């Protein structure tokens, strides 16, 4: 379990984190989301004892990082954003060093190394020198180091950068399963990643918490509207004015003809609310009633950029952004 | 202690996985050998005495030690492994001592590899074993103090090259500072201070075969002081 209380950190007069408080429970994956310079990495560096806070407290399993950094470091597995590796060691030698550093002794040591190797898919490169590895393998070697000692707390700074899509799926699966029994904090720019693995999200903006909650809750508060992309085939003559008979439709963002009888449109619908039919449902029922065939109907997600823009605007309007 | 050894073991593995360690040790043996046999013309002197061989050690170490210590912290910073080291459960002292031990082990290997020189020479004449022990003790202690200085400079330097050059400069200054003490008149305060600071002044009695506790105390104090400074610097960084 991790608890931050009014955490502040300044580097030579520049304040990077302005009083952040949150709690991450055991058995959860917490995502830190935010643009560069929002304070994600600074918070992680404080939680791993690399920097001390200027004021406020960071507690890891109830231990204050500034008071007993060694006890905290023993509990934490950390993958920094830069993925620090000794280029002139082999993967095996590197993990051997990590095992020494963690004080792992036989027989647990061998089992721990084997587990880390197989969970990170490194068995094929065990003997290889790290400088010869691809970026994806380097990333996985760094992750293997972080999980080697089966730590109760796992802190991962952008764990899936540089991986190919298959590897991303594997690593996300791994993080999700680790999150069942540990406290995992990860930072990312990728919204799908948050939705795929995090139970809770904290969005940071300029060193402050701009929003927090489950991914669904955050998406909810942000969505003032629902956008649907629609492609349809109409046997009868069709133009954009016929779309206005869709129940609840707010406006049509775009409309075009894609060929004889085939049209594409982007619809702006009211946000989801309990009781009312979902936007897609209304469109479907409307199409059936009109004798129109739906070729594609897709909910357009808000992109991370749109979320950032919205949040930073809201944050500055509210003043302290809490 | 296990943590100290873990750090030292990793350093040594990296050193021997790259050509650096071999090149530095070989260079040291070549240079001291060439000096003894060609420049000092050991065989034509006809004396069973290696004092000249040992008396150049402070100057030679002023180049050997920076080559061993330049990577120490500067390389960790370049690779980003600095952050890894400082977030693993190591104390600052353990890191500093572990790194010191690995560089000292490399220096000790280089120094030990010169043992065939007195061994071969002893076949030609009778050497005083006690003198040799004193001479080697002196070299090891001086190397230890110089390594502590080199490690500290590497912890401040931005990269390997500046760590190397900075350490060479500081060590040469400390080796040569007793040469200018005579300008200040012998026996005066300034002169004796300069002498006292000098790495080579304290080495003189060792190269003559005398182990003086004041000289040992000087090297040990320098060692402890600079290890402490490195550790203090690491600790301070966390608050910045």
Query: B236 with B156: CB under 8 angstroms?
Result: no
Residue A305 belongs to some domain of the structure: no
- Other CB atoms within 10 A of residue A300 CB: 13
Query: A240 with A257: CB under 8 angstroms?
Result: no
The pLDDT value recorded for residue A307 is 66
Q: Quick one: tokens of A239?
A: 């133009």
Which CATH number covers residue A293?
Answer: 3.30.70
Q: Is the pLDDT of residue A265 over 50?
A: yes
Residue A215 belongs to some domain of the structure: yes
Domain-ending residue, one of A173, A206, A221: A221
A167 lies in the same domain as A26: yes
Give this prediction's pTM: 0.83
Q: Which of A252-256, A296-300, A307-311, B65-69 has the highest mean pLDDT?
A: B65-69
A21 lies in the same domain as A168: yes
The pLDDT value recorded for residue A317 is 46
A152 lies in the same domain as A270: no
Chain A partners within 8 Å of B91 (Cβ): 70
Phi–psi pair at B128, nearest 5 degrees: -85, 110
Q: How far is CA A261 from CA A265, A284, A295, in A?
A: 13, 18, 12
Domain-ending residue, one of A167, A202, A221: A221
To the nearest whole number, what is the mean pLDDT of chain A? 87
Instruction: For B86-97, write each residue's pLDDT tens digit.
Output: 999 999 999 999
- Crossing angle for the helix pair B213-237 and B129-156, to the nearest 10 degrees: 20
A158 lies in the same domain as A238: no
For chain B, the domains span 2-237
A25 lies in the same domain as A138: yes
A108 lies in the same domain as A47: yes
Which residue stretches of A23-120 are H helix?
40-47, 69-75, 91-101, 108-119
> Distance from B96 to chain A by nearest Cα, in Å?
14
A267 lies in the same domain as A287: yes
Nearest to A4 by CA among A40, A43, A54: A43
Instruction: For B23-40, write each residue's pLDDT tens digit.
Output: 999 999 999 888 888 777
Q: Is the pLDDT of residue A319 over 50?
A: no
Residue A289 or residue A218, greater confidence: A289
Chain A partners within 8 Å of B86 (Cβ): 49-50
Residue A90 belongs to some domain of the structure: yes
- Crossing angle for the helix pair B129-156 and B71-79, to the nearest 10 degrees: 30
Residue A33 belongs to some domain of the structure: yes
Residue A173 belongs to some domain of the structure: yes
Residue A311 belongs to some domain of the structure: no
DSSP state of B61: H
Nearest to B2 among A80, A103, A145 (CB): A103
Q: How far apart are CA A283 and CA A287, in angstroms?
A: 6
Angular region, A105: left φ>0, alpha ψ -120 to 50, beta rest: beta
Q: Is the pLDDT of residue B44 over 80?
A: no
Pairing relation of β-strands A262-269 and A226-233? antiparallel
Which CATH number covers residue A109?
Answer: 3.40.50.300
Summarize the confidence of residues A165-193 as an average pLDDT: 89
Query: A18 with A46: CB under 8 angstroms?
Result: no
How many domains in chain A?
Answer: 2
A52 lies in the same domain as A85: yes
Residue of A nearest to B79 (CA): A84
Residue B3 or residue A299, greater confidence: B3
A185 lies in the same domain as A243: no
Query: In chain A, positions 63-92, which contact chain B (CB-CB < 8 Å)?
Result: 70, 73-74, 76, 78, 80, 82-89
Residue A101 belongs to some domain of the structure: yes
Phi–psi pair at B140, nearest 5 degrees: -65, -40
Nearest to A78 among B6, B13, B87 (CB): B87
Phi–psi pair at A251, nearest 5 degrees: -165, 170
Nearest to B200 by CA among B67, B50, B59, B32: B59
A166 lies in the same domain as A58: yes
Q: Quick one: tokens of B139?
A: 């070299």
A139 lies in the same domain as A239: no
A76: containing domain: 2-221
- Quote the Cα angle for B38-B42-B46, to 5°: 145
A96 lies in the same domain as A165: yes
Residue A209's beta-bridge partner residues? A204
Summarize the confidence of residues B78-104 as an average pLDDT: 95
Domain-ending residue, one of A202, A221, A240: A221
CB pairs under 8 A between A and B: 76
> Distance from B147 to chain A by nearest Cα, in Å?
22
């Amino acid at each position: 379990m991790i608890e931050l209380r009014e955490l502040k950190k300044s580097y030579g007069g520049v304040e990077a984190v302005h009083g952040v408080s949150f709690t991450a429970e055991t058995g959860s994956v917490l995502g830190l989301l935010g643009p560069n310079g929002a304070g994600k990495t600074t918070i992680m560096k404080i939680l791993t004892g690399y920097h001390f806070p200027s004021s406020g407290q960071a507690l890891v399993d109830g231990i204050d990082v500034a008071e007993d950094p060694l006890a905290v470091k023993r509990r934490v597995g950390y993958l920094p954003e830069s993925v620090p590796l000794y280029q002139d060691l082999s993967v095996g030698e590197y993990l051997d060093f990590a095992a020494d550093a963690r004080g792992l002794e036989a027989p647990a040591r061998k089992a721990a190394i084997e587990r880390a190797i197989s969970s990170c898919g490194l068995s094929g490169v065990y003997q290889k020198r790290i400088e010869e590895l691809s970026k994806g393998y380097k990333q996985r070697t760094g992750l293997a180091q972080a999980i080697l000692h089966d730590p109760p707390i796992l802190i991962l700074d952008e764990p899936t950068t540089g991986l190919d899509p298959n590897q991303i799926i594997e690593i996300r699966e791994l993080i999700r399963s680790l999150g069942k029994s540990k406290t995992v904090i990860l930072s990312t720019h990728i919204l799908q990643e948050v939705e795929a693995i995090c139970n809770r999200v904290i969005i940071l903006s300029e060193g402050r918490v701009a929003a927090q909650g489950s991914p669904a809750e955050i998406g909810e508060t942000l969505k003032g509207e629902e956008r649907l992309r629609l492609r349809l085939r109409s046997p009868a003559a069709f133009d954009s004015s016929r779309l206005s008979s869709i129940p609840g439709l707010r406006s049509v963002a775009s409309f075009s003809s894609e060929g004889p009888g085939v049209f594409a449109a982007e619809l702006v619908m009211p946000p989801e609310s309990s009781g009312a039919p979902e936007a897609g449902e209304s469109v479907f029922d409307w199409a059936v009633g009109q004798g129109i065939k739906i070729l594609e109907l897709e909910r357009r997600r808000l992109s991370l950029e749109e979320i950032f823009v919205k949040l930073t605007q809201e944050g500055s309007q509210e003043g302290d952004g809490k | 202690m296990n943590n100290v050894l873990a750090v030292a073991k990793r350093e040594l593995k990296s050193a021997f996985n790259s050509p650096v360690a071999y090149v530095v040790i070989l260079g040291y043996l070549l240079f001291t050998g060439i000096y003894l046999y060609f420049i000092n013309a050991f065989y034509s002197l006809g004396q069973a005495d290696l004092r000249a061989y040992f008396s150049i050690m402070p100057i030679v170490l002023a180049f050997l030690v920076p080559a061993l210590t330049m990577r120490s912290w500067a390389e960790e910073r370049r690779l980003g492994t600095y952050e890894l080291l400082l977030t693993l459960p190591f104390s600052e002292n353990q890191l500093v001592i572990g790194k010191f031990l690995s560089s000292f082990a490399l220096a000790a290997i280089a120094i030990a590899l010169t043992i065939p020189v007195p061994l071969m020479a002893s076949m030609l004449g009778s050497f005083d074993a006690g003198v040799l022990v004193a001479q080697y003790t002196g070299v090891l202690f001086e190397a230890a103090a110089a390594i502590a200085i080199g490690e500290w400079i590497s912890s401040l330097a931005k990269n390997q090259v500046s760590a190397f050059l900075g350490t060479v400069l500081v060590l040469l200054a400390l080796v040569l500072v007793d040469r200018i003490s005579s300008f200040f008149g012998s026996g005066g305060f300034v002169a004796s201070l300069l002498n006292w600071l000098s790495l080579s002044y304290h080495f003189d009695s060792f190269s003559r075969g005398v182990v003086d506790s004041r000289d040992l105390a000087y090297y040990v104090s320098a060692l402890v002081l600079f290890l402490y400074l490195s550790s203090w610097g690491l600790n301070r960084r966390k608050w910045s």
